[in-house]
Structure 1
């Protein structure tokens, strides 16, 4: 019953923004067809000239406020984790359909399709990790903060979980806006951007799939009373301690090249902030790994021999002879 309730919630929560935006598009179409008979809705006219501000307003009220209230009621801020995979798709279609949009058809189509592929991959990984349950648990970092802030978590969560996500999500999706604000023809740099985006999606897919298989095998070993494998260092994980993070960053920086190519180089700021944040998350994840007694020793060796993000060949720890295999 709880799973079904969360499914219903997940499908209903974006409806306020969708309904408003469709109404806005209908009004804009009427105004273009018959300006003299269009109703004088000043706010809707404002929306026609401020696509970025409108996106932030919709995010603030529909995600920050509504998701936060639901999270307080359920004592579980799971919705933002799921919608991380959905909001970029909504934003790219928003930027593409806004009355002020103008773009090269090929570039727009490629970016939209790539965003869908990225979203499908990440959504599949989310549900696979959660064993196809909706809202069964929230991000472990939110759990840690809930314990740290105690009684104050109810209001701190609004800023830590939602306002911060608005900065990250709207920021890293700025290249999608840039793509739909220029009619510059498709060129060689678009091929470069496309290649980088696809490479990021593929690397992240294999990294997450190998991690999922590793976790599932360990769970099976525990059930039959056999010691689990302490560390994953096979496949792409042999060359990077966080290949899933690396793949995800490649995807976002590939989008930045699309934005730069149409003269909107400033759109790198969102990805830069996201990468800086991921550095901090990487530190938290590795500290968490080292706190687990059954894997601390192996992980320390893994840290000494394996690149953090960018895949590279194994290195030999100082003071040790022989080749690392």
Structure 2
């Protein structure tokens, strides 16, 4: 069996323990058994327990066997879909049908977009490589990485993913009529998905073109500064954050202002990732000077006019 096919099979089988357990619970929920009664009364705690053992522990063990943490990247795009369907299907849930449908559809659109972007970037291979940040951490921690990775790669994902998906949980625990804020939340979510799609597509074309130049022995283009990348150094990150903050609107609208916690933590994490990415860019000699200029003239996240353009407009206004 080829490596690509083997990894695909592992990825499809990996979440089965949680899925089978939850399916069994749904089929036996009417029985007066202590386990099923507990699962019925504690939906949020149950999903965290399933996440801990199936994602954190099992995925971690698989990573130790394979010496690679590639699978968590694939499941970052899938877990929110699993979570939204869990929250919707749990027997204790109560929700507005139309709001729930909107959330489910939006989550699927987001997931399909991000999954497509991931596999396009990886040339449609399963587990060809792990995230470069994990590789750097492995080199940094050396022999202790095998146990540090459980916390740095897996346990932290539970905090992030459960946190940013809190609005999905709230939507399926509060039954209120639709209002204008649901429309606003939907618009913001779709805007984030569209921005991220175009940003990732432009980046993919740029990387592909540079790969062709490299194969032909020609100089590489130092930096992408067209399309959305003309207005932002990380428009893909910006679009992703807009999506998650759009979800916050749904939870906030239902009276749960604390749902911002997940989005705030995720944004702070992405801010740190942005710093790491830019440090990596500045280590590549062929692009250092141009990227430094790019940093000075271009917004970090939020698409905006370049500083040189703003200076010209100020001069004209004066």
TM-score range, shorter chain: over 0.9
Alignment of 1:226-265 (within 5 A): 226-265=218-257
Q: Which runs of 5+ in 1 are unaligned?
A: 32-37
Distance 1:110 1:319 in 2: 43
Q: Which runs of 5+ in 2 are unaligned?
A: none
Distance 1:302 1:49 in 2: 54
CA contact (8 A) 1:204 1:246 kept: yes
Alignment of 1:211-290 (within 5 A): 211-290=203-282
Distance 2:11 2:238 in 1: 29
Q: Give the corresponding residue for 2:114.
A: 122
Distance 1:314 1:289 in 2: 20
Deviations 1:29-65 (A, max 9, x none): xx1xxxxxx2x42122111111111110000000000
Shift, 1:316, TM fit: 2.1
Q: Give the corresponding residue for 1:18.
A: 19
Distance 2:175 2:111 in 1: 25
Q: Give the corresponding residue for 1:34.
A: none
Shift, 1:123, TM fit: 0.3
Distance 1:44 1:298 in 2: 60
Say which SS state the counterpart of residue 102 (structure 1) adopts: coil
Distance 2:153 2:44 in 1: 21
Shift, 1:225, TM fit: 1.2
Deviations 1:49-90 (A, max 9, x none): 111111100000000000000000000011100000000000
Which of these residues, 88, 91, 102, is aligned with residue 96 of structure 1? 88
Q: Give the corresponding residue for 2:201.
A: 209
TM-score, reference length from structure 1: 0.94
Count of residue pairs brought into register by the alignment:
314
Q: Which moved more, 1:45-54 or 1:244-253?
A: 45-54
Shift, 1:317, TM fit: 9.6
Shift, 1:319, TM fit: 11
Shift, 1:226, TM fit: 1.0
Q: Which moved more, 1:311-320 or 1:19-28?
A: 311-320
Q: Give the corresponding residue for 2:98.
A: 106
TM-score, reference length from structure 2: 0.96
Q: Give the corresponding residue for 1:8.
A: 9
Deviations 1:133-175 (A, max 9, x none): 0001000000000000000000000000000000000110000
Which of these residues, 38, 46, 62, is aligned with residue 46 of structure 1? 38
Q: Which runs of 4+ in 1 moved over 3 A?
A: 317-320
TM-align CA RMSD: 1.7
Matched, 1:75 2:76: no
Q: Give the corresponding residue for 2:138.
A: 146
